[in-house]
Amino acid sequence: MNLTAFRVGAVAWGFTGLGHDILEFVLPGDPELAATMRASTIDVGPLQLNAESLSRGVSVAMGLAMIVVGALLWMIADVLRNDPDRLRPFGIIALVATVLALGLAVLWVPGPPLVTFSVATVAFVAAFLLKKPLPASASGSRV
C-alpha cells in the first residue's frame, strides 16, 4: 500500500472532524428552532436534557470521533511504515467507512463533507492502486 495516499485519507478524516466542530460553534443557528429545541426535553436514562443540548453534544462528539479516526489512521500508518503490506486490512476498513460516510454526506450533509470524504475515498483507493516507491538502491541510481 502507498503510505502517502493512506495518510492523505487520514488527514481528510481529521480535517472533516475539526471543520465539523468549528462550524458547530461558528455558524449561526435558527433562533426559533433553537428555542423550540430548548423547550423540548428528552429523557436519557436518569437525566432529562433539552433537545438542543443533546443535539449539540452528539454533534461535537461526532466531530471529535472523526478527528480521532484520522489520528489513529495516521498512527497506524506510522507504526507499519516499514511493512506497508500489513496496512491492507486497515485500509479496507478505512475505505469502507469512508465510502459509507461519503454516501451519508451525499444524502443528508451537503457542503464540506462531500469534498473531504471524496478526497479521503480517492486517497484510500490510490493507497491500494499505487505501487510503493522503490528504495533508492533499487531504482538503478548510483551515488
Can you give the residue ranges of every domain in the chain? 3-131
| 30: nearest Cα among 52, 3, 14 | 52
| pLDDT, tens digit, 9 for 90 and up, residues 99-136 | 999 999 999 987 899 999 999 999 999 999 997 654 55
User: d(Cα 19, Cα 117) in Å, to the nearest integer?
Assistant: 12
| pLDDT, tens digit, 9 for 90 and up, residues 66-78 | 999 999 999 999 9
User: d(Cα 42, Cα 17) in Å, to the nearest integer?
Assistant: 26
User: d(Cα 112, Cα 118) in Å, to the nearest integer?
Assistant: 10
pTM for the full predicted model: 0.85
| pLDDT, tens digit, 9 for 90 and up, residues 130-140 | 976 545 555 44
User: d(Cα 88, Cα 113) in Å, to the nearest integer?
Assistant: 25
